[in-house]
Amino acid sequence: MPLLSSYIEKFSKVRVLVIGDIMLDRFVYGKVERISPEAPVPVFRFAYEKEMPGGAGNVVANLVSLGCKATFIGIAGRDENGSKITALLEKSGAHSHLLRLKDYPTIVKTRLIAGNNHLLRADQEEIIPVITELLPKFRKILTQAVKNADIVLVSDYNKGLLTPVSTQMIIDVCNQFHKPVLIDPKGADYSKYCGATLVKPNLKEFSEATGQKYNPEAADFHQKMVEGAKALFAKYYIKNLIITLSEYGMIHIPAENPEDIQHIPTEAKEVFDVSGAGDTALAALGIAVGCGTPYKDAMKLANIASGIVVGKLGTATVSRTELLDAILQRTTSESSWPQKRKIITLEQAVNIVAKFRKTGKKIGFTNGCFDCCHLGHLNSFMEAKKLCDVLIVAVNSDASVKRYKGPSRPIQDEKTRALLLASLEYVDYVIVFDEDSPLHIVEVLKPDVVAKEGYALDKWPEGRLALSYGGKAVTLDRIEGYSTSNLVAKMKG
């Protein structure tokens, strides 16, 4: 299985379309130091305020923060608060189709916060009126946006945009263009989500939809969850359910085989504020599924992301760097293998190389599949390390090896190969890459020495690139008689 961090490298290539109820989240911060003499209520002393897109807008903000290309379709009022939402979406870098209604006030949620405590939430909202004449325009915008997306996220806050008609229109268009559609639902009636790729309720919403109560600590919890999921699958033809369980983690139940239930634990360490945690989970889950991440790993990423955001105050977002750091901490704390700290992403490598360069260290680089590590590989690492202070080794991902070596390879998965390399004293850092060539890594890191055994310069683009920016390209001597292909053939007899 690929490393969790390797999926994050693909986030920037994913195009995500978000459709849903947007609002303006206003956070008013201050202090409470006394009780009012007029009534037994606290006196709130204003300090400052922040405004940001809320609801589906927070999903968009998280997607942008995680580094993907985000597009939004929604409705706001033709008022000052609607203009603020428009400006905030533009500032984030997201592309938006915000339909502005003349007689509809933009939804605003204002929270008063003293220290780390929420004192009060004041809502200004009206349910969006059903405007049948808007549907043709909505479908036209929707169709074009779905065509240009890799995945579609629907964020339902039950504010009127996502009616049974409009929601089914979204699902139909997504199915027409074979685009997965993930839905964060609201309400007990799932008929409007009929045919969705995935629906992501929390446990309370799942309980309301199935009409059953569930106890995560009960011995028959999984069995009861599967029974409830089967009922929804049979009635509404939903293909997957992911149920968030707060402090109990997340569960994935596929319609194809409901008994194949996957349950992962929670990641939150310290909870300050759960505002927007579901939005963060939807964003991380969507972007992960959009780049081909299996559901179990996508859930892990969503769980880690929401675990980060509940440790922040106010409607918050998670960045790529925060997610990568959390994965690194999670890996090293859970594992007895300290060598895992040496397995890094290209993004992390940029910062590491910059720090070493400040101290005058020479950076070396080599690469390969390293499917079955043998004496020839060990000799290459040893010789390459002699040429530099810090040796970075790039190893082909499983998908990359299959394209390069054929469907029967690799023999060992990328996690195993990366860990074996990281365990060698000659190797300082390991990067798993998904491209056919490590040329992009050399372009970004510009190592002082690029070394490889047995490659002539005319067939070695990384070597030519190194020479072009003033680095060295060193062809290492090959120890004859050692190759992975020969080892594989020998094992097969």
User: What digits encode the pLDDT tens for the residues 429-470?
Assistant: 999 998 889 999 999 999 999 999 877 788 899 999 999 999
Which of 284, 292, 289, 286 has its CA nearest to residue 267? Answer: 284
In sequence order, what are the residues at sequence separation of 6 or more whose Cβ sits closer than 8 angstroms to the Cβ of residue 471?
446, 447, 448, 449, 450
- Give the pLDDT of residue 215: 93
Q: What is the pLDDT of residue 272?
A: 47
Indicate whether 29 and 120 sit together in one domain.
yes
Burial 97-107 (b: 16+ CB within 10 A, else e): bbbebeebebb
Cβ contact 384:426 at 8 Å: yes
How many Å apart are CA 344 and CA 418, to the nearest integer?
Answer: 10
In a shared domain, residues 286 and 383: no
Q: Which of 273, 279, 371, 434 is catalytic?
A: 279
Q: What is the 3-state secondary structure (H, E, C) of the chain?
A: CCCHHHHHCCHHHCEEEEEECEEEEEEEEEEEEEECCCCCCEEEEEEEEEEEEEEHHHHHHHHHHCCCEEEEEEEEECCHHHHHHHHHHHHHCCEEEEEEECCCCCCEEEEEEECCEEEEEEEECCCCCCCHHHHHHHHHHHHHHHHCCCEEEEECCCCCCCCHHHHHHHHHHHHHCCCCEEEECCCCCCHHHCCCCEECCEHHHHHHHHCCCCCCCCCCHHHHHHHHHHHHHHHHCCCEEEEECHHHCEEEEECCCCCCCEEECCCCCCCCCCCCHHHHHHHHHHHHHHCCCCHHHHHHHHHHHHHHHCCCCCCCCCCHHHHHHHHHHHHHHHCCCHHHHHEECHHHHHHHHHHHHHCCCCEEEEEECCCCCCHHHHHHHHHHHHCCCEEEEEEECHHHHHHHHCCCCCCCCHHHHHHHHHCCCCCCEEEEECCCCCHHHHHHHCCCEEEEECCCHHHCHHHHHHHHCCCEEEEECCCCCCCHHHHHHHHHC
Instruction: Quote the tokens at residue 298.
Output: 């996508």
Give the pLDDT confidence score for residue 117 in this predicted structure: 84
pTM, two decimals, is 0.74
279 annotated active-site: yes
Distance CA 68, CA 320 (A): 10
Block residue for tokens 């209604």: 101
Nearest CA to 306 out of 333, 334, 286 is that of 286
Please count the structural domains in the chain. Answer: 2
> Which residues sit opposite 403 in a β-bridge?
none
∠ CA(362), CA(364), CA(369), 5° rounding?
165
Regarding whether 209 and 169 lie in a shared domain, the answer is yes
- Give me the phi and psi of 242, to 5 degrees please: -120, 120
Regions of the chain where pLDDT drops below 50: 271-273
Domain end (from 270, 305, 334): 334
Are 362 and 240 in a shared domain? no
Sequence letter at residue 315: T
In a shared domain, residues 107 and 48: yes
User: In whole angstroms, what is the distance from residue 433 CA to residue 399 CA?
Assistant: 9
Q: How far is CA 375 from CA 98, 308, 413, 484, in A?
A: 61, 43, 20, 10
Q: Alpha carbon 468 to chain centroid distance?
A: 36
- Residue after which a domain boundary falls, among 334, 356, 373: 334
Same domain, 211 and 285: yes
Please name which of 347, 491, 336, 306 lies closest in space to residue 419, comparing C-alpha atoms.
336
**What φ, ψ does residue 448 adopt, rounded to 5°?**
-70, -35
Q: Tell me, what's the pLDDT at 335?
A: 52
Domain match, 23 and 134 both: yes
Q: 299 and 373 share a domain? A: no
Amino acid letter at 366?
A: T
In this structure, are 176 and 246 located in the same domain? yes
Please tell me whether residues 114 and 45 are part of one structural domain.
yes
Name the token pair of 322: 């925060």
The residue range of the domain holding 410 is 342-492
> How far is Cα 212 from Cα 139, in angstroms, rounded to an integer?
36
**CATH number of the domain to which 466 belongs:** 3.40.50.620
Q: Are residues 325 and 419 in the same domain?
A: no
- Could you tell me if 356 and 286 lie in one domain? no
Residue 291 near residue 180, CB atoms below 8 Å? no
The CATH number that applies at residue 227 is 3.40.1190.20
Which of 279, 305, 334 represents a domain boundary (last residue)?
A: 334
